[in-house]
Amino acid sequence: MTTSSLFVGREAVMTLPGAALRRAADGQGATLVIPGDAGIGKSRITRELEAVANTAGMRTLRGACFPGDRAVPSAWVADMLRRLASRSR
């Protein structure tokens, strides 16, 4: 898995997601949940993974949670399903 030259210092963080992308490319499904506090780079990591996967010809979905979603622990799943539904129209 090759990340962009601007994505420096995250090689260790990308080990598990990179392995999941390789398994997905081989036909095995994968779901990644990247938890963590605000501001630690989760969105940057997911954008980088999405770019790598899209370059490899893979379809991706990315869900997101927002501070108001704490009352609904699976809000990110609903967000992904909304994005999937809007793509299929």
Domain total in the chain: 2
Determine the pLDDT at residue 49: 84
Whether residue 76 is found in the same domain as residue 39: no
Q: What is the pLDDT of residues 17-36, one digit of tens each?
A: 778 888 888 888 777 777 78
What phi and psi, each to the nearest 5 degrees, are found at residue 44? -65, -40
Whether residue 54 is found in the same domain as residue 87: no
Helix (H, G, I), strand (E, B) or coil at 55: helix
Whether residue 17 is found in the same domain as residue 46: yes
Cα gap 20→16, rounded to integer Å: 6
Whether residue 16 is found in the same domain as residue 45: yes
Whether residue 69 is found in the same domain as residue 26: no
Q: What is the pLDDT of residues 46-79, one digit of tens each?
A: 888 888 888 888 887 777 666 666 677 777 777 7
Domain hosting 84: range is: 63-89
